[in-house]
């Protein structure tokens, strides 16, 4: 049976999700969309052949909507999750839940008490290559996991205005890597050490933000994770995960945009790697939506609000570590 999904928010990521639901997920249907800017949503609705709603409540309460996708700006996530809990409809929510723990906990309570199935949009878990790394830990191929290395580098920095409200690099960017570290090791983060600098966009000083950071995590099971992030890798969206254990190593490497190479007397040239998430991670979004369909049909989400909370704690611990220049236990954050 086809699942009808209503999408809240039609910014860049919302448009992408609406298109995927409308066009590329067999078993899903785009029931309708809502955006705080009606003109943007009505154009999209026309293009994708769906209706528009005039408020989140109208969308959530509609009989035509089986499930909800929250793709609005971060500061609205908690209210919308609470509202969705009232309707008990299966809900997909983009990360992060919130920039504060207390708000995150408010969402977590509402969702738990209502037993609403909520899946958080940590799409990288669904990337076939990163997932294969995790699977080789989970199935014992690598033995005990000792070290994890994660590199995430964006092709270009976001606008300063974004940095001012995003929670900063540890919350807007590293949050994916905290989630990946938990996902790959299967173990909670107990300590965070973080340093960083402004090397690319000096203006981010105004937002008290960083653009180049390096972190060292300790997990409950003893594994150590090293993360590095940059807001600007001129060669493209650099996304790599490596797990090392007593029996070997698994690693996801960057793909190339295509597989042609050229050899000359100067050496061998390959093409570029994918530029950014639209070029790199569509397969992960498709897999994410396929899992969400299972959630709608009764499966437990593999990644929920509690996971969003754990990564936020790590992000806040990272900022504390950076400011206090010492390793910080995650249980110091509350």
Site for a second copy in 180-209 (CB under 8 A): 193, 195-197, 199-200
Report the residue number, 162 or 235, with the smaller CB distance to a second copy: 235
Residues within window 62-91 making contact with a second copy, judged by CB under 8 A: none
Q: What Rg do the C-alpha atoms of the chain give, in angstroms?
A: 20
Report the residue number, 108 or 293, with the smaller CB distance to a second copy: 293
Which run of H or of E encompasses 229? strand 224-230
Report the residue number, 18 or 108, with the smaller CB distance to a second copy: 18
Asked if 278 is part of the footprint of a second copy (rule: CB under 8 A), the reply reads no
Residue 56: closest CA among 29, 28, 86, 27: 86
Residue 310: closest CA among 145, 213, 189: 189
| Coil/strand/helix, residue 58 | helix
Which run of H or of E encompasses 57? helix 56-61
Report the residue number, 40 or 272, with the smaller CB distance to a second copy: 272
Least Cβ distance, residue 137 to a second copy (angstroms): 11
CB 212 within 8 A of CB 154: no
Asked if 46 is part of the footprint of a second copy (rule: CB under 8 A), the reply reads no
How many angstroms separate the CA atoms of 194 and 214, rounded?
6
Least Cβ distance, residue 334 to a second copy (angstroms): 21
How many angstroms separate the CA atoms of 78 and 66, rounded?
20
Site string for a second copy, 84-123 (x = CB under 8 A): ----------------------------------------
**Candidates 19-27, 75-83, 102-110, 169-177 — which segment interacts with a second copy by CB under 8 A?**
19-27
Among 16, 101, 220, 233, binds a second copy (CB under 8 A): 233
Residues within window 290-309 making contact with a second copy, judged by CB under 8 A: none
Residue 133: closest CA among 172, 85, 180, 90: 180
């Amino acid at each position: 049976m086809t699942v009808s999904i209503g999408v809240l928010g039609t910014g860049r990521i919302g448009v992408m999700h609406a298109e995927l639901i409308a066009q590329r997920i067999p078993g899903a249907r785009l029931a309708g969309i809502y955006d705080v800017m009606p003109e943007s949503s009505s154009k999209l609705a026309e293009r994708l052949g769906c209706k528009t709603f005039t408020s989140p409540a109208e969308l959530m309460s509609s009989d035509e909507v089986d499930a909800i996708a929250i793709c609005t700006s971060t500061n609205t996530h908690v209210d919308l999750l609470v509202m969705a809990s009232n309707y008990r409809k299966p809900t997909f929510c983009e990360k992060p839940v919130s920039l504060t723990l207390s708000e995150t906990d408010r969402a977590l309570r509402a969702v738990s008490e209502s037993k609403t199935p909520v899946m958080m949009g940590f799409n990288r878990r669904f990337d076939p290559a990163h997932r294969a790394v995790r699977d080789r830990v989970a199935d014992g191929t690598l033995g005990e996991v000792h070290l994890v290395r994660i590199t995430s580098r964006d092709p270009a920095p976001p606008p300063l205005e974004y940095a001012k409200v995003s929670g900063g690099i540890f919350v807007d960017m590293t949050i994916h890597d905290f989630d990946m570290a938990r996902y790959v090791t299967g173990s909670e983060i107990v300590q965070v050490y973080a340093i960083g600098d402004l090397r690319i966009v000096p203006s981010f000083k105004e937002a008290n933000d960083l653009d180049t950071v390096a972190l060292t995590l300790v997990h409950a099971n003893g594994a150590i994770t090293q993360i590095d992030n940059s807001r600007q890798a001129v060669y493209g969206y650099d996304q790599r995960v490596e797990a090392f254990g007593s029996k070997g190593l698994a690693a996801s490497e960057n793909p190339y945009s295509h597989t042609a190479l050229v050899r000359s007397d100067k050496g061998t040239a390959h093409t570029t790697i994918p530029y950014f998430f639209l070029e790199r991670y569509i397969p992960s979004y498709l897999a994410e939506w396929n899992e969400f369909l299972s959630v709608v049909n009764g499966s437990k989400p593999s990644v929920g609000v509690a996971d969003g909370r754990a990564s936020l704690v790590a992000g806040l611990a990272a900022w504390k570590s950076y400011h206090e220049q010492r390793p910080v236990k995650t249980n110091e954050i509350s």
